[in-house]
Structure 1
Amino acid sequence: MKEANHYVYILECGDGTYYTGYTTDVAQRIKMHKSGKGAKYTRGRGPLRLVYQEAFATKQEAMRAEYDMKKWTRQDKEALLQNLTEDSP
């Protein structure tokens, strides 16, 4: 079985908006965002906080999930995050 090393993640920006992205290294990608070298959208919107990440076995699966999630409404993303907090111990 292939190791899951493709990730989709959601950042909560300082202005309350969400940014969804794809990476193979979440920690490194967040460092890039925080240094202003990530996505144009996140520049000047700090502080940034990782609120969600999901691993996928293939790049294709992760990119499809990212594409779909980017079409979600804010309410859809908040529902996902709410479900995560309800499921945690």
Structure 2
Amino acid sequence: MAETPLTTKPKTTLKTVRHPGAGRGLTLAANHIRYGEIPAFAGMTMMGTMCIDRRMRQPCVYILTNRSNHLFYVGVTSDIAARMMQHRAGKGATHCRRYNIRKLVYAEFHATMPEAIAREKALKEWHRNWKRRLITEANPDWNDLFDSLLA
């Protein structure tokens, strides 16, 4: 019996995408959607949102800082709550452990992981003052957003 187009596995191809702010093209995997399939988050974009409202298992770019707000760590994850627990337990990145970077001050949710990874790479190339301005616009008091994650 032959497989129908709707039950076959989508093909994955690689394409180069230029992301604003990135210094180089990024190679991303893109699934081709066949006729009759509706992808999750179709027609929606959540890029740039600061609301942390139970979307913990969604691709997310985040920025952590230390108590004095001088050092930054930019990361990406598909489960922000679990990743923050790792950082808080000292099992995150070495840079975070060494400099006690544990305060979540910025989170930006995306529809797909390739979008989140591209945004993370762009943010990592930003100057410190640009990151400060981004955080201040979204979180003027630089509060720890992790507490609102668990609420």
TM over 0.5: yes
TM-score normalised by length of structure 2? 0.52
Higher helix share: 1
Of 64, 81, 86, the match for 1:11: 64
**Aligned CA distance change for structure 1 residues 32 and 85 (closer, same or farther; 3 Å):** closer
Question: SS of the residue aligned with 1:53?
Answer: strand
Among 114, 118, 122, the residue aligned to 1:60: 114
Give the CA deviation at 1:47.
5.5
1:27 maps to 81
In the alignment, structure 1 segments of 5+ residues that lack a partner are none
- What is the number of equivalent residue pairs in this alignment? 86
Identity of aligned residues (%): 35
Deviations 1:2-45 (A, max 9, x none): 25710000001235201000001111101111212111110132
Alpha-carbon distance in 1 for matches of 2:122, 2:97 = 23
Q: Which amino acid aligns with 1:38?
A: G
Structure 2 residue runs of 5 or longer lacking an equivalent are 1-38, 47-57, 141-151
Contact kept, 8 Å, 1:6 with 1:24, in 2: the verdict is yes
1:70 maps to 2:124: yes
Read off the aligned partner of 1:2 and give its amino acid letter.
Answer: A
**Contact 1:13-1:19 at 8 Å conserved across structures:** no
> How large is the RMSD of aligned CA atoms in angstroms?
1.8
Alignment CA distance shift 1:85-1:42 (3 Å): closer
Cα separation, partners in 2 of 1:36 and 1:78, compared to 1, 3 Å? same
- Rounded to whole Å, the distance in 1 between the matches of 2:99 and 2:79 is 21
Q: 61-70 or 10-19, which moves further after superposition? A: 10-19
Equivalent pair of 2:106/2:139 in contact (CA under 8 Å): no
Counterpart of 2:40?
Answer: 2
Higher relative CO (CA 8 A, sep ≥ 6), structure 1 or 2?
1
